[in-house]
Amino acid sequence: MKKVSCFFCILLLMVFSGAGCREKERTVLQTASGNGSDETAYGDAIIEGTIGEPTVLIPMLAGDSASHNVAGMIFNGLVKYDTDLSVIGDLAESWDISPDGLVITFHLRKGVKWADGVEFTSDDVMFGYKTIIDEKTPTAYKEDFLQVKKAETPDKHTFKVTYERPFAPALTSWGGLVVLPRHLLEGKDITKTEFARKPVGLGPYALTKWAQGQELALDSYKGYFEGRPYIDRYIYRVIPDPATMFLELQAGGIDMMGLTPIQYTKQTENDFFRNNFQKFRYPVFAYTHMAFNLKHPWFKDKRVRKAIAYAIDKNEIVDVVLFGLGSPATGPYVPNTWPYNPNVEKYGYNPEKAKQLLKEAGWLDTDGDGILEKDGRPFSFTILTNMGNNLRKNTATIIQWRLAKIGIRVEIKALEWSTFVNEFIDKRRFEAVLLGWSIGLDPDQYDIWHSSKTKEKEFNFISYSNPEVDELLDKGRRTFALEERKKAYFRIQEILADEVPYIFLYVPDATPIVHARFKGIKPSPIGISYNLPKWYVPKKLQRHSMEQ
């Protein structure tokens, strides 16, 4: 028994030694909520919680979002999206597009230096381009660059690419993937180099420390071409469990994280969070939908698809599943962005119309059991979705309940992701699926809707085919003129709304939370972190000091 009491002594000791720190942290939280002058100042650190650890910091090799987030701080591209989704220069000062849309000439900024002091030139872009199209580079982002017929560097600050055919998404493909320091990487095997874990970039931050499984620390790059970032240090802490991360936020261990709907609407609605944090909300570039297998005899009939659309209350799904943190979707684009067409059929909840349409299509409850029949077969189908995504499962459950009301029986089956994709989507073994698409900022969705993309492993897995849509998709990606593109994508949305190959359900909101001491955050349609180098903490509120 003696040993037992001994152990408790140790435990008590540890606890007491912890008490000292507690005082300190409390006072820090106090000053954070106090009023200080809001002048910009250098210094302090921001700590973001991340669920996954980055694997590789060369953007073209990375497949996970954690890697892209961190690499995005270290590397810049030639162009980037402005807050209104127009394309503006980043490392390229300006660019010209030839009248036939085949040649893009980028004029690069002069005097930009890599973090090791070497000047950035068009050779670095050329090197990145050659690396990404290299046979031996295992990258998922090759496709856009294989369209390039010819790339040239007429001088140190000019980079010129020629395409076979005009290709509108081409411009933004020169975003963040292909600028790599040639002087450090030339002649090396990019998959094996140390560079992937000790990158040298030219972005606002530079990696200084990577403690495996724990954290990555990035220090501000004082020579950043848009000016030294105000916040001296950016730290990513790897915390795999979301519940733990939320507790860390409350304990002061992290400054910034993404909240779940319930955390946003309930758990952070108290004085502690109101005083110490700021919450943001903006639509994610993604939508959730229910897709029909258009090869299925029942779903071939447009009236049936329309009826189901009328029978589902999208607002109800947003309110119940997302706690109101989202908006009903009407097409494959995010509301309030330039390709989004607000004037399409929205399919408000209308069960009577749904029943009417089903009746026209020959579906009647002949035996009085509450379920519709046609040719003696009851209307019963299965919605497949992937396991582990509760939002989708809850959405499916609501749909199941709503469709039961108009006499359609729905089963829900949740499958493990790989099984779901390999065995059901790829083999077309489904009646309806509930899935989501993340959409790029460019409106080109050729791969999802074009009738040529229906082979196994391709993304038009519902076998959608409409010659007019095919033509418009092609037109949309072959011109750089915004008005022309807009017209094409508006028309596509009209057709999709009329034909209902998908029922577009909702666009979820991103809901990040940031500690209140950070100022200068300007929410926009592309989120909050686009102007991170301009965030700052007024001198009085700074919590961490960097002693080197």
Report the chain's terminal Cα–Cα distance, integer Å: 49
Q: Pick from 53, 232, 313, 442: which binds another protein (CB under 8 A)?
A: 53
Q: Pick from 154, 240, 297, 362: which binds another protein (CB under 8 A)?
A: 240
Contact between 336 and another protein (CB under 8 A)?
no
The 3-state DSSP class for residue 212 equals coil
Tell me which stretch binds another protein (CB under 8 A): 19-27, 87-95, 101-109, 512-520.
19-27
Rule CB under 8 A: which of 246-265 touch another protein?
247-248, 250-251, 253
Distance in Å, CB of 332 to another protein, minimum: 12
Nearer to another protein, 243 or 482 (CB): 243
DSSP 196-263: GTS----SSEEEEEEETTTEEEEEE-TT-TT---SSSEEEEEE---HHHHHHHHHHTS-SEEEPPHHI
Tell me which stretch binds another protein (CB under 8 A): 14-22, 302-310, 510-518, 531-539.
14-22
> 10 Å Cβ neighbour count for 61?
21
Distance in Å, CB of 460 to another protein, minimum: 10
Place of tokens 């955050």: 521
Q: Pick from 62, 329, 372, 500: which binds another protein (CB under 8 A)?
A: 62
Rule CB under 8 A: which of 399-418 touch another protein?
416-418
Contact between 243 and another protein (CB under 8 A)?
yes
Contact between 55 and another protein (CB under 8 A)?
yes
| Pairwise CA distance, residues 128 & 121, whole Å | 12
- List residues bridging with 151 in a β-sheet: 161
Distance in Å, CB of 530 to another protein, minimum: 22
Residue type, 52: G
Contact between 40 and another protein (CB under 8 A)?
no
| Pairwise CA distance, residues 341 & 333, whole Å | 8
Return the sign of the alpha-carbon dihedral for residues 481, 487, 493, 496: negative
| Pairwise CA distance, residues 118 & 200, whole Å | 11
Nearer to another protein, 130 or 142 (CB): 142
Distance in Å, CB of 456 to another protein, minimum: 8
Distance in Å, CB of 61 to another protein, minimum: 5
Site string for another protein, 166-195 (x = CB under 8 A): -------------------------xx---
Spell out the residues 6+ positions from residue 318 whose beta carbon is closer than 8 angstroms to its own. 324, 325, 326, 327, 328, 506
| Pairwise CA distance, residues 44 & 216, whole Å | 16
Contact between 241 and another protein (CB under 8 A)?
yes
How many amino acids of this chain bind another protein (CB under 8 A)? 71
Contact between 25 and another protein (CB under 8 A)?
yes
Please give the structure tokens belonging to residue 490: 């508006």
Please give the structure tokens belonging to residue 118: 């070497």
Distance in Å, CB of 71 to another protein, minimum: 11
Contact between 141 and another protein (CB under 8 A)?
yes
Nearer to another protein, 199 or 407 (CB): 199
- List residues bridging with 412 in a β-sheet: 383
Q: Pick from 32, 104, 180, 196: which binds another protein (CB under 8 A)?
A: 196
Distance in Å, CB of 247 to another protein, minimum: 5
Q: Return left, alpha or beta for 427; rule: phi > 0 is left, psi -120 to 50 is alpha, else beta.
A: alpha
Distance in Å, CB of 170 to another protein, minimum: 13
Contact between 144 and another protein (CB under 8 A)?
yes
| Pairwise CA distance, residues 188 & 202, whole Å | 20
Contact between 419 and another protein (CB under 8 A)?
yes
Place of tokens 């496709």: 143
Contact between 342 and another protein (CB under 8 A)?
no
Distance in Å, CB of 334 to another protein, minimum: 17
Contact between 344 and another protein (CB under 8 A)?
no
Please give the structure tokens belonging to residue 27: 């006072």
Distance in Å, CB of 176 to another protein, minimum: 14
21 burial level (CB within 10 Å; 0-12, 13-18, 19+)? exposed
34 burial level (CB within 10 Å; 0-12, 13-18, 19+)? exposed
Rule CB under 8 A: which of 95-134 touch another protein?
none
Distance in Å, CB of 238 to another protein, minimum: 6
Rule CB under 8 A: which of 205-224 touch another protein?
211-215
Q: Which residues of 472-488 are buried (b: 16+ CB within 10 A; e: fewer)?
A: bbebbbebbeeeebbeb
Helix (H) or strand (E) holding 104: strand 103-108
Contact between 7 and another protein (CB under 8 A)?
yes
Rule CB under 8 A: which of 439-458 touch another protein?
445-448, 455, 457-458
Q: Pick from 109, 113, 130, 142: which binds another protein (CB under 8 A)?
A: 142
Contact between 364 and another protein (CB under 8 A)?
no
Rule CB under 8 A: which of 492-531 touch another protein?
none
Phi/psi at 238 (5° precision): -85, 110
Rule CB under 8 A: which of 274-293 touch another protein?
none
Q: Return left, alpha or beta for 43; rule: phi > 0 is left, psi -120 to 50 is alpha, else beta.
A: left
Nearer to another protein, 247 or 482 (CB): 247
| Pairwise CA distance, residues 10 & 439, whole Å | 54
Distance in Å, CB of 349 to another protein, minimum: 30
Spell out the residues 6+ positions from residue 65 whose beta carbon is closer than 8 angstroms to its own. 52
Contact between 239 and another protein (CB under 8 A)?
yes
Contact between 33 and another protein (CB under 8 A)?
no
Spell out the residues 6+ positions from residue 246 whose beta carbon is closer than 8 angstroms to its own. 257, 259, 263, 267
Contact between 421 and another protein (CB under 8 A)?
yes
Tell me which stretch binds another protein (CB under 8 A): 35-43, 110-118, 241-249, 331-339.
241-249
Please give the structure tokens belonging to residue 396: 């499916």
The 3-state DSSP class for residue 105 equals strand
Cα 200 to the center of its chain, rounded Å = 25
